[in-house]
Amino acid sequence: MKKFIDDLAGAIYDSFKFVFRCICYILSGMLIVGVPLYIIALIFKMFN
């Protein structure tokens, strides 16, 4: 029974780690792409 609980806890830990890593990649991608794009849009808005 201990082995089953240990395996179950490991699977839950791996799935949460995967979800957390995906969220971090999405947020970092939004920052890397979104912030410069927003700054470029503000620059073009100033010229308009």
Domain span holding position 16: 1-48
Compute the distance between CA of residue 38 and CA of residue 44 in angstroms, rounded to an integer: 10
pLDDT at 13 over 90: yes
Q: Is 33 exposed, middle or buried (0-12, 13-18, 19+ CB in 10 A)?
A: exposed
pLDDT at 48 over 90: no
Domain count, the chain: 1
Q: Which two tokens stand for residue 32?
A: 């890397």
pLDDT at 21 over 90: yes
pLDDT at 42 over 90: yes
- Once rounded to an integer, what is the mean pLDDT over residues 15-43? 95
- Once rounded to an integer, what is the mean pLDDT over residues 12-30? 96
